[in-house]
Amino acid sequence: MSSLDGVVRGIVDAHLHQWNPRSTPWAANRLSRLYRFVPAFGDRVFPMVVSQADREYVLTPSTVARVYEPMQYLADTSPVFKTAGVRVDTVVHMESHWRGDETAGRVDTPAGRSAVEETRYVTTLPFGADSLPQLGAIVAHADPRAERFAELIDEHAALTDRLRGIRWITTRHPDPKIRNGADADGILSSPSFLKGFAEVADRRLVFDAFVYSHQLYDVVTLAREYPEVTIVVDHVGAPVGVFGPVGARTGATAGARADIMRLWRERMVTLAAYPNVMVKLSGLGLPVLGYGRERWGNVGSRATLTEMVGPLVDHVFTHFGADRVMFGSNFPIDKPNVSFDMIVGALVDLIAPLGGDYALSKVFRDNALRVYKIETLG
């Protein structure tokens, strides 16, 4: 087994979520209150009060209904030193799709204002203290279609000198029982989005794109229209159902899964032709990839994860190369299926034969520092 010891001084996790749903305007507020008083009851009622689409996206309410801040992250990442010989020393906070509190039947906080408050909240977290990793960059939540988009970006930037990017989740799926993260199809290639996106380009920010694999051609349109903007494709392009059945019918047969993989491969090859597109090796434990529906997780071991995601990693490296790929944990969303050290170990095992120490250093540190313009301490 390979190691990162002597290859990088520390891992940069380029895709981390932080939240405290008990005190912040986030989508899991009601589940958080339930968990606060009766955790076991929350587990029992979860399948009855949450849609299949949401259940299959998170597997367990504990993932989103509990506080996840630097101390919880440190506990999850501590085992990685034994696995890889180094620790996580820098993180990129990825927006967590905050929204207004709806518990009283109204939206108290508009989406844009809520997103700015998320940035404010992240700046108060104790990153860099004691043995906690430093906060290297923030990718904030904002919709380029919005009338006040430019103003919202500037409000984020006024709160922190670590603003490095924008993300607007545009996931949509034709299967009615797969979770949608957007209000319409084709957002990234729509005229209103493309017009507003000029504000991202003007500020030299990165754009993180989270789409499902059948939507990847929308990213092609965006990359072609704005070649000066670095676009990071999150979660290896999210081929939903590639490992097993999800939703009503997606990935239900071996033939269907083979088609999902084939179409994902074709779209990734097309994307690779655009040098401003990067790929993030994140979301490798996303339940919607088709690992299964059990709340306790469905991968089982580092060896199993390595075998399953190996074809995805190999294809990405073949067409994008080591200089256009980076690591992100997507914690805690991926936590029900995979441990942090399992993800790192599997990727080290896969990447070392493809590119040796050079590729390992690029994926686990150098590319994220470059793309998100991170200044490290020490």
pLDDT digits (tens, 9 = 90+) for 286-313: 999 998 655 545 688 899 999 999 999 9
Two tokens, residue 213:
């694999």
pTM here?
0.91
Which residue do the tokens 């799709």 mark? 97
Task: Decide which of 132 and 297 is more confident.
Answer: 132
Instruction: Report the sign of the C-alpha dihedral through residues 299, 27, 140, 246, in that order.
Output: positive
**E strand or H helix at 155, and its extent?**
helix 149-159
Q: Looking at residues 159-163, what average pLDDT do you find? A: 97
Quick check: 104 pLDDT over 60?
Answer: no
| Other residues' Cβ atoms within 10 Å of the Cβ of residue 214 | 18
Distance in angstroms (rounded) separating the CA atoms of residues 239 and 361: 26
Quick check: 2 pLDDT over 80?
Answer: no
Q: 228 near 189, Cβ under 8 Å?
A: no
Distance in angstroms (rounded) separating the CA atoms of residues 72 and 76: 6
Q: 14 near 328, Cβ under 8 Å?
A: yes
SS3 content of the chain, % helix, strand, coil (to 5): 45, 10, 40
Residues 6+ apart with CB under 8 A from 184: 172, 190
**E strand or H helix at 348, and its extent?**
helix 340-361
Q: 264 near 242, Cβ under 8 Å?
A: yes
pLDDT, averaged across the chain: 88
Task: Decide which of 54 and 142 is more confident.
Answer: 142
Quick check: 90 pLDDT over 70?
Answer: yes
Residues 6+ apart with CB under 8 A from 14: 91, 92, 280, 282, 326, 327, 328, 368, 371, 372
